[in-house]
Amino acid sequence: MNRPLILPDISEATLAQLRKAAEEMLKHAYAPYSHFPVGAALLTESGHIFQGCNIENAAYPSGLCAEAVAIGQMVATLGSTPVRAAFIVCKGHSPAWPCGTCRQRLNEFAASLMWVYTSTLTGSPQRMAFGELLPNSFGAADLQGIAR
C-alpha cells in the first residue's frame, strides 16, 4: 500500500526540522561499548521539539536510550504532554526502531495518532503509526478503576 510519508498536519518543513534535531544528537551520543549512536527527537502537539541521545553505561541495564532522554527533557520542561511524532536516527546500515522499553515509554505520552519515523543518517525515512508499532498496548487506561 502506498501511503504518503508526511501526515497532512505535519509539514515537510516540520518533518525536516524533526529529523535535523535527531541527527544533531548523534554527535552527543555516549556509545563507547556498542559504538551505535542514536539520536531522537519528539514533536509535541504544541509544536515543541525535544531531543535525546543514547547514553551507555558499563553496567548495561543502566544506560539510557535516546527516546528516554528526549522524553525526560520533555517532561522536565513541559510536564506530561502528548507526542505527535518521534524521529529516530542512527549511523547503522538499517534504521533503528524504538526498543520494546522505549515503545512502552512512548506509549505513556503518545497522542491519539502518533507517527514514528526512523532512518539511518544518510537513508530515506520510514514511517509507522505508533499503534502498529505497539499493538494492544498496556497504558494508563488499563489502570483506571483499580482500587488502591
Per-residue model confidence (pLDDT) at position 92: 86
Helix residue ranges per DSSP H, 27-99: 66-78
% of the chain beyond a pLDDT of 90 = 80
Neighbours of 44 (CB within 10 A): 18
User: Can you read off the three cell numbers belonging to residue 31?
Assistant: 556509545
Is a pLDDT exceeding 70 seen at residue 146? no
The whole-chain average pLDDT of the chain stands at 92
Is a pLDDT exceeding 90 seen at residue 10? no
CB 121 within 8 A of CB 93: no
Which sequence spans correspond to the domains of the chain? 12-131
SS3 for 110?
A: strand
Q: How far is CA 61 from CA 10, 29, 64, 92, 110, in A?
A: 35, 17, 8, 21, 24
- Which residues participate in catalysis according to the annotation? 67
Its pTM stands at: 0.90
* 12-131 CATH: 3.40.140.10
The model's pLDDT over 50-99, given as tens digits with 9 standing for 90+, comes to 999 999 999 999 999 999 999 999 999 999 999 999 999 999 899 999 99
Distance CA 71, CA 99 (A): 14
User: Can you read off the three cell numbers belonging to residue 35?
Assistant: 559504538
The model's pLDDT over 103-139, given as tens digits with 9 standing for 90+, comes to 999 999 999 899 999 999 999 999 999 999 999 999 8
- CB within 8 Å of 116: residues ≥ 6 apart: 85, 86, 87, 88, 97, 98, 106, 127, 128, 129, 130, 133
Per-residue model confidence (pLDDT) at position 9: 72
Q: How confident is the model at residue 37 (pLDDT cuts 50, 70, 90)?
A: very high
Per-residue model confidence (pLDDT) at position 8: 52
